[in-house]
């Protein structure tokens, strides 16, 4: 397995549960991956194709719902609202959500014309990646810190490439592109309800309360590769989110992060054989790696076990 982000670790868990001997090779610690930057809301954002995404997201939703029963999992099952500012929003994602309703007028901020209220998984990604590592360790998964230049350099007969944005370099795929995202995490003043406002005319906005902090975002800059925090961008994010949730106005900044989403016209989950080695690809999850993780990992197991 190349990669210890949410995709690599989830695949490692599922493969080890299925009886495979797994070694995870990665050059970054899980806490330093893009996965640790993710806001952690289950939501199929910036990922295609729609039918497979819905199927993967549905599998993950069920798994996260089970995990949320354990307070130590880093996963919560929380109610919130997806806002819409235009008529005819894309509601295809609601097909994967067991219960949802139209937002009442009092639940809509000025400018929003409708909304969907539902309960979804919220994942404290840094803590959750730690739980996945622990689960891997209990299942006997080995970990090695190294840069992989080519899957053929690895001694294993089967290699799963779950290397996020850098997967392209490993399998010769030019279709991956970065979509930069910046977040700021504020001390949680007691919020539990999340909020997504992607069509905000001032820029996308979301508020995702986890335990002690609230992830506030965001940005989605296609093709941008800079990972340095930008304070002007942060000020604009804070303006948008405090307009939507005034209780965040005096909340101190706990931490900040920037990550590059691994975007691809379609998420790649497939298997090829090269010179006696089986290479399974699992990457290109865009803005939905957490959301799709358990569904894609199930497909990876199927590709190997049939
Ligand atoms: C601001 C922001 C907010 C987001 N919010 C959400 C959200 O709310 N919900 C959601 O579902 N998704 C969200 N995402 C998207 C999500 O973070 C990604 O889809 C996901 O992290 C991709 O996971 P990954 O495991 O494929 O890649 P990564 O997390 O990038 O992990 C890649 C791994 O591969 C390893 N690697 C790469 N190349 C090599 C190599 N050559 N040799 C060795 N190791 C290598 C790295 O060390 C790392 O371990 C968000 C992203 C951003 C940036």
Long-range CB pairs of 300-306 (<8 Å, 24+ gap) are 300/11, 300/14, 300/15, 300/160, 300/269, 301/11, 301/14, 301/15, 301/18, 303/269, 303/270, 303/271, 304/15, 304/18, 304/20, 304/158, 304/271, 304/278, 304/280, 305/18
Tell me, in angstroms, the distance from the centre of ligand 1 to residue 87's CA: 33
CATH number at 271 reads: 3.30.9.10
Nearest protein CA to atom 6 of ligand 1, as residue: 38
Closest atom of ligand 1 relative to the 257 alpha carbon: 1
Does 227 fall in a domain?
A: yes
Which residues partner with 181 through β-bridges? 259
Does 138 fall in a domain?
A: yes
The residue count of the chain comes to 306
Closest atom of ligand 1 relative to the 217 alpha carbon: 1
pLDDT of residue 306: 84
What is the rounded distance in angstroms from the CA atom of residue 252 to the CA atom of residue 250? 6
Angstrom CA distances, 8 to 12, 33, 60, 205, stand at 6, 11, 15, 28
pLDDT of residue 121: 98
The pLDDT tens digits for 212-250 are 999 999 999 999 999 999 999 999 999 999 999 999 999
Does 236 fall in a domain?
A: yes
Does 75 fall in a domain?
A: yes
The pLDDT tens digits for 13-72 are 999 999 999 999 999 999 999 999 999 999 999 999 999 999 999 999 999 999 999 999
Question: Is 284:44 a contact under the CB 8 Å cutoff?
Answer: no
Contact 178 CB / ligand 1 (< 6 Å): no
Task: Give the residue-averaged pLDDT of 164-173.
Answer: 98
Averaged pLDDT of the chain: 97
Does 248 fall in a domain?
A: yes
> For a pocket test of ligand 1, which of 178, 289, 295 has the largest count of ligand atoms closer than 8 A to its C-beta?
289
> For a pocket test of ligand 1, which of 33, 46, 132, 229 has the largest count of ligand atoms closer than 8 A to its C-beta?
33
Q: Give the structural domain span for 214.
A: 6-305
Residue 94: band (very low, low, confident or very high) from pLDDT cuts 50, 70, 90: very high
Task: Give the residue-averaged pLDDT of 278-290.
Answer: 98
How many domains, in total, are found in the chain?
1
Task: Give the residue-averaged pLDDT of 146-153.
Answer: 98
Nearest protein CA to atom 47 of ligand 1, as residue: 28
Does 1 fall in a domain?
A: no
Q: Of all residues in the chain, what percent carry a pLDDT higher than 90?
A: 98
User: What's this model's pTM, rounded to 2 decimal places?
Assistant: 0.98
Tell me, in angstroms, the distance from the centre of ligand 1 to residue 286's CA: 9
pLDDT of residue 47: 98
Q: List the one residue out of 20, 52, 28, 73 whose CA is nearest residue 286.
A: 52
Does 44 fall in a domain?
A: yes
């Amino acid at each position: 397995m190349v990669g210890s982000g949410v995709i690599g670790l989830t695949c490692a868990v599922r493969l080890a549960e299925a009886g495979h001997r797994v070694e995870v090779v990665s050059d970054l610690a899980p806490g330093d991956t893009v996965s640790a930057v993710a806001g952690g809301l289950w939501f199929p954002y910036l990922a295609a194709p729609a039918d497979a995404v819905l199927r993967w997201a549905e599998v993950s939703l069920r798994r996260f719902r089970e995990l949320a029963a354990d307070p130590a999992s880093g996963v919560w099952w929380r109610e919130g609202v997806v806002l819409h500012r235009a008529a005819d929003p894309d509601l295809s994602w609601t097909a994967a959500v067991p219960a949802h309703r139209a937002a009442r007028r009092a639940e809509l901020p000025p400018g929003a014309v409708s909304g969907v209220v539902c309960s979804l998984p919220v994942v404290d990604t840094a803590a959750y990646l730690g739980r996945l590592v622990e689960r891997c360790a209990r299942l006997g998964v080995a970990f090695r810190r190294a840069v992989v230049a080519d899957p053929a350099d690895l001694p294993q007969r089967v290699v799963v490439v779950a290397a996020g944005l850098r997967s392209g370099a490993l399998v010769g795929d030019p279709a991956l592109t970065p979509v930069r995202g910046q977040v700021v995490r504020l001390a949680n003043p007691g919020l539990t309800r999340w909020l997504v406002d992607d069509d905000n005319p001032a820029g996308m906005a979301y508020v995702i309360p986890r335990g002690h902090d609230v992830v506030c975002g965001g940005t989605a800059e296609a093709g941008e590769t800079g990972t340095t925090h930008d304070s002007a961008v942060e000020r604009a994010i804070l303006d948008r989110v405090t307009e939507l949730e005034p209780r965040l106005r005096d909340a101190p900044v706990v931490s900040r992060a920037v990550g590059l989403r691994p975007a691809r016209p379609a998420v790649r989950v497939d298997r090829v054989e090269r010179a006696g080695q089986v290479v399974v690809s699992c990457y290109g999850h865009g803005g939905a790696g957490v959301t799709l993780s358990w569904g894609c990992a199930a497909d990876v197991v199927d590709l190997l076990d049939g």
